[in-house]
């Protein structure tokens, strides 16, 4: 039943009864905004903003934005990142637009920009996700080139360090204690979290939302492991009537709770983006119980009005918000435990 309470909730999101039954994108007058995960988001936002400030499409903005991070060798995203436990860098990415079109690649090797391949999957195939060799073959058929094999210098060093102690035990809890980065993002000496993903969502001048997510997954993961980032509804979800959200952190747990889809559904019920992220995080805490202390998960979200918010499990997650050439700032997210 559509009651007064529901109406007030929807009004607080700028959605009226008409909007609830079928929102039509506005055509002018929206203030574009792009938000993205972690501090690497600052540079990624700059590239996305170039598209948005010229009234470009949010889809192009989120693709071009995260490509910056994929190219950056010093970062934990893209081919410069830490490998799996067999020494190979394998990449996951997904993208979603305002029409619920989506595309993803997983377990992709030697391709510099998996996000571009994800977009090609979305636009040029009848499928949503391609993985491994098939994804690579598809990329080549679309004109992408194979990058040379091997690890970046930093990744090589990290991998050698990891190999010294690796017992190659597929029991997650045992390995977790010995090599935290194998399955759980680990705290760095400065107290921040080791992370491997950039997720970005944007609202364009036409009032449309899109999102992207790209990662090397977790360092020293089992070969073939795929996280949440390429899974629509887990690492990324966009509903142009409501909002868009991305996740970062322990992918297995984000998948377990249908992370970003949950955030969007909470926003649909009337929660503001930050509140929706918090509610979703509370659900995760309930599932994980005392084990929640071993992991980090974070959500960021943007609604149809350009309001944004985030929440993480543990202290140390930040996200970058950009609404102008000189308005691109990092915000420390609130945390649950
Ligand atoms: N969510 C990513 C994964 O599990 C990793 C991360 O965000 O750090 O693959």
Over the stretch 196-245, which tens digit does the pLDDT of each residue have? 799 999 999 999 999 999 999 988 899 999 999 999 999 999 999 999 99
> Which ligand 1 atom sits closest to the C-alpha of 221?
9
The pLDDT, as a whole number, for residue 29 is: 58
Check 181, 197, 260, 323 and give the catalytic one.
Answer: 197
**Ligand 1 center–CA 215 separation, angstroms:** 7
**Could you tell me the pLDDT band of residue 190, with boundaries at 50, 70 and 90?**
low
For CA atoms 117, 243, 37, 155, the dihedral sign is negative
- For every residue of 200-261, DSSP letters joined together read EEEE-TTS-EEEEEEE--STTPPTT---STTSBTTTEEEETTTEEEEEEE-HHHHHHTTHHH
**Is the model's pLDDT at 52 over the cut of 60?**
yes
**Is the model's pLDDT at 185 over the cut of 60?**
no
Residue nearest to atom 9 of ligand 1 (CA): 217
Over the stretch 127-158, which tens digit does the pLDDT of each residue have? 999 999 999 999 999 999 999 999 988 889 88
**Is the model's pLDDT at 168 over the cut of 60?**
no
**Is the model's pLDDT at 6 over the cut of 90?**
no
Ligand 1 pocket mutation pick from 195, 199, 226, 300 by most atoms within 8 angstroms of CB = 195
State pTM to two decimals. 0.86
User: Is 215 among the catalytic positions?
Assistant: no
> Which ligand 1 atom sits closest to the C-alpha of 248?
7
Over the stretch 101-117, which tens digit does the pLDDT of each residue have? 999 999 999 999 999 99
**Could you tell me the pLDDT band of residue 166, with boundaries at 50, 70 and 90?**
confident
Q: Sort strands 297-303 and 308-312 into parallel, antiparallel or unpaired.
A: antiparallel
**Ligand 1 center–CA 229 separation, angstroms:** 7
**Is the model's pLDDT at 248 over the cut of 60?**
yes
**Is the model's pLDDT at 173 over the cut of 80?**
no
Ligand 1 pocket mutation pick from 37, 131, 226, 235 by most atoms within 8 angstroms of CB = 235
Over the stretch 21-35, which tens digit does the pLDDT of each residue have? 333 344 445 899 999
Q: Using an 8 Å Cβ cutoff, are 115 and 214 in contact?
A: yes
Which CATH topology does 27-332 take?
3.60.20
The pLDDT, as a whole number, for residue 222 is: 92
**Is the model's pLDDT at 10 over the cut of 70?**
no
CA atoms within 13 A on the CB side of 120: 17
């Amino acid at each position: 039943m559509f009651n007064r309470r529901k109406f007030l909730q929807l009004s607080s999101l700028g959605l009226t009864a008409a909007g609830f039954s079928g929102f039509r994108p506005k055509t002018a007058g929206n203030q574009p905004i792009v938000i993205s995960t972690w501090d690497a988001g600052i540079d990624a936002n700059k590239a996305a903003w170039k598209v948005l400030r010229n009234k470009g499409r949010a889809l192009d903005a989120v693709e071009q934005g995260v490509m910056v991070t994929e190219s950056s060798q010093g970062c934990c995203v893209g081919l410069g990142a830490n490998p799996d436990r067999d020494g190979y860098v394998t990449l996951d990415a997904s993208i979603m637009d305002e029409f619920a079109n989506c595309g993803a690649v997983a377990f992709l090797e030697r391709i510099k920009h998996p996000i571009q391949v994800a977009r090609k999957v979305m636009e040029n195939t009848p499928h949503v996700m391609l993985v491994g060799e098939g994804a690579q073959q598809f990329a080549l058929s679309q004109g992408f080139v194979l990058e040379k094999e091997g690890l970046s210098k930093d990744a090589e060093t990290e991998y050698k360090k990891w190999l010294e102690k690796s017992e190659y035990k597929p029991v997650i809890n045992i390995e977790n204690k010995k090599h935290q980065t194998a399955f759980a993002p680990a705290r760095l000496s400065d107290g921040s979290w080791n992370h491997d993903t950039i997720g970005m969502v944007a609202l364009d001048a036409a009032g449309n939302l899109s999102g992207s997510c790209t990662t090397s997954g977790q360092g020293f993961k089992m070969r073939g492991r795929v996280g949440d980032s390429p899974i629509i509804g887990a690492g990324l979800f966009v509903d142009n009537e409501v909002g868009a959200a991305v996740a970062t952190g322990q992918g297995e747990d984000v998948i377990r709770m249908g992370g970003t889809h949950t955030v969007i559904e909470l926003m649909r019920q009337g929660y503001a983006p930050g509140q929706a992220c918090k509610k979703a995080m509370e659900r995760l805490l309930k599932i994980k119980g005392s084990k929640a202390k071993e992991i980090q998960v974070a959500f960021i979200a943007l609604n149809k009005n350009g309001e944004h918010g985030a929440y993480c499990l543990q202290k140390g997650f930040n996200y970058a918000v950009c609404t102008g050439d000189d308005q691109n700032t990092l915000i420390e997210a609130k945390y649950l435990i």
